[in-house]
Chain A
């Protein structure tokens, strides 16, 4: 994969998309072969390196989102943002606005619908520096209009950082111009 390009991982459910993302994000190392990041084998990363990596190099939207239900939407985002102080509160709120969830910012995550939570998780993933953005079925519960808004926001951020984008999807390609499509 190259910097500044977008990739689509397309496969039916249960075929290993999330496992692939877990390998890339360092949550699972039960794979054969090797994954190199900037020519360095990720298997050799120490725990501290991984932590630094997850703060500055890789960002992810999990399929399961993993928001903290007891925190509000904005708290969930700030929790991530405060690690690097990457975005201002105003910026965060404007992103939420663009995805039409700004009015839910102070509601607890557990009270939001899954589609709303997905959008909050997307904004959270953008609140850190990254060279690689992993999105695991990010739009599964979002309507087409909001998907357009979200892809637009994501592509802006990815372009601004000249980062690599990897999206996992069951089939939909969300009108993004991919450099390559991987079929699992």
Chain B
């Protein structure tokens, strides 16, 4: 009966407003969150071994295009550069041969390079080599696999290979230096879209250079840098002034992703702001509901109803509206997810329904946090309202 009594003074329009503000705030938050989760693959270094803030530079072709230690020191001093590393060449001839499941093999001349391990985002355990290791891990450009799969394999009657299969291909490396010749077993650890070379661990390259061609000098022909912001004009100015070359398209995509990330962060910020505002509105709404019933609440309390009993009537309403709002927000999120698919396709983002799992978890967490907050707030308000010595309690009507 206490429920009916308190409900009598609550208007439907008020509850509708409550639900609308709540749905709006939560909806924006969940949609942006979902967007964030879905686009992470664009930014995270997880999609590639090199981060998006990586720039590879080289000098113009000429007689001597190696970087001197002074030039590298100058690069390191630039404020827009986070870390710098050189590509080192193998100083020997390399012949790689592959035999695929006994169906004959391919053999080719190739080359090996190495960069500092700091730039490569793979498990240390895998990307490791010591003279006692059985096999050498190598990283090749993803293009090579595509060339093989779509160009070479169909013509030669060979099977296509996928990412999982790559690791299982046995490769034999014949290294011929000035003073010695060695054979090593190798396997492809991973492929990368951002490097245009064949990488082996730095330890392997240093070791074999020393072993096979001790008399040859090691030159740094290209430099890899991790920068703060790939679209920094100072960086571009610096590169132009020193006549350093870089992959335009690579830098462009880095800049786009930097920009996108910035925009998304702003959208997320605005989303959080709107959510905070909407929660404030919801709390104000709860206050209004309680204030409107101040007289009734006081009377009920001193008739013998506990504060908890009274608060529970309001909490039941809050929980219901919160649940409905979260449900509406979730529906909005799912609709937006499908609406965004064409745009994601343009960006080359692989969307999966899996991000909805994260959104679902976020929704549950939000529900619990907000429910706890509303509960505390409602109890506090009812307590204030029914405190002893309040004018309503002590003056006669």
> Is A64 among interface residues, defined by CB-CB distance under 8 A?
yes
With A79-B5, A80-B303 given, is the CB distance from A66 to B389 under 8 Å?
no
In the complex, which residues of chain A have a beta carbon less than 8 angstroms from the beta carbon of B306? 47-48, 51
Closest chain A residue to B296, Cβ basis: A68
Select one of A18, A25, A75, A79 contacting B302, CB under 8 A.
Answer: A25
Task: State which of A27, A54, A63 has its C-beta within 8 Å of the C-beta of B388.
Answer: A27
Asked whether, in the complex, the Cβ of A54 is within 8 Å of the Cβ of B303, the reply is yes
**Residue B304 interfacial (CB < 8 Å):** yes
Q: Which B residues touch A19, using CB under 8 A?
A: 394
A54 touches B2 (CB 8 A): no
Which B290-313 residues have a C-beta within 8 angstroms of A? Answer: 296, 299-307
Judge whether B304 and A51 touch: CB under 8 Å: yes
What CA separation (Å) do A26 and B298 show in the bound complex?
Answer: 13
Interchain nearest-CB distance for B245 vs A (Å): 78
A118 within 8 A of B: no
The interface residues of chain B lying within 8 Å CB-to-CB of A64 are 396-397
B147: Cβ under 8 A from any A Cβ? no
Instruction: Indicate with 1 or 0, residue by residue over B373-393, a CB within 8 angstroms of chain A CB atoms.
Output: 000000000000000110001
Q: CB within 8 A of B2: which of A27, A51, A79, A128?
A: A79
Contact A22–B304 (Cβ < 8 Å): no
Contact with A along B1-34 (1 / 0, CB 8 A): 1100100110000000000000000000000000
List, in ascending order, chain A residues with CB within 8 A of B299's CB.
66, 68
**A window 10-32: CB within 8 A of B:** 18-19, 22, 25-30
Q: Kindly state the separation between the CA atoms of A71 and B307 in the bound complex, as whole angstroms.
A: 21
CA distance A66 to B396 in the complex (A): 9
Whether A62 sits at the interface, judged by CB under 8 Å, is: yes
Expressed in whole angstroms, the minimum distance between the Cβ of A103 and any Cβ of chain B is 22
The 8 Å CB contact of A27, one of B8, B296, B393, is B393
A70 sits at the interface (CB 8 A): yes
Task: Say yes or no: A54 contacts B396, CB within 8 Å.
Answer: no
Residue A55, interface by CB 8 Å: yes
Interface residue A78 (Cβ < 8 Å from any Cβ of B):
yes
Closest CB in chain B relative to A104 CB, distance in Å: 19
Do the beta carbons of A70 and B394 come within 8 Å of each other? no
* Contact residues of A between 67 and 90, Cβ < 8 Å to B: 68, 70-71, 75, 78-80, 82-83
Residue in B closest to A68 when the chains form the complex, CB atoms: B5
Q: Which of A28, A47, A55 contacts B393 (CB 8 A)?
A: A28
Residue of A nearest to B9 (CB): A70
Contacts of B8 in A (CB 8 A): 70
- Could you tell me if A22 and B1 are in contact, using CB atoms closer than 8 angstroms? no
A120, chain B: closest CB distance, angstroms:
14
Smallest beta-carbon distance A111→chain B, Å: 16
Considering only CB atoms, which chain B residue lies closest to A19 in the complex?
B394
Q: How far is the CB of A170 from chain B (nearest CB, A)?
A: 14
Query: Given B1, B5, B307, B389, which contacts A30 in the complex, CB threshold below 8 Å?
Result: B389
**Contact yes or no, B304 A27, CB < 8 A:** no
Minimum distance in angstroms from A124 CB to a CB of chain B: 8
Contacts of B9 in A (CB 8 A): 70
B303 with A22: CB separation less than 8 A: no
**Residues in chain B near residue A30, CB distance under 8 A:** 389
Tell whether A62 pairs with B396 under 8 Å between CB atoms, given A29-B388, A78-B1, A82-B1.
yes
Name B388's closest neighbour in chain A (CB-CB). A29
CA distance A78 to B1 in the complex (A): 9
State the CA gap A25–B9 with chains docked (Å): 27
Question: Once the chains are docked, how many angstroms separate the CA of A163 from the CA of B9?
Answer: 37
Q: What B residues does A18 contact at CB under 8 A?
A: 396
Report chain A residues within 8 Å CB of B304: 51, 54-55, 80, 83, 128
Given the complex of chains A and B, what is the CA–CA distance between A34 and B5 in angstroms?
36
Q: Which A residues, 124 to 155, have Cβ-Cβ distances below 8 Å to chain B?
A: 128
- Further pairs besides A28-B388, A30-B389: 14, Cβ < 8 Å: A22-B393, A22-B394, A27-B302, A27-B389, A28-B394, A29-B388, A64-B396, A66-B303, A71-B5, A79-B1, A80-B304, A82-B1, A83-B303, A128-B304
Give 17 pairs: A residue, B residue, CB < 8 Å, sorted on A: A27-B388, A27-B389, A27-B393, A28-B388, A28-B393, A30-B389, A51-B306, A54-B304, A66-B299, A66-B303, A66-B397, A68-B5, A71-B1, A75-B1, A78-B1, A79-B1, A128-B304
Closest 5 CB pairs of A and B: A55-B304, A64-B397, A54-B304, A64-B396, A27-B393
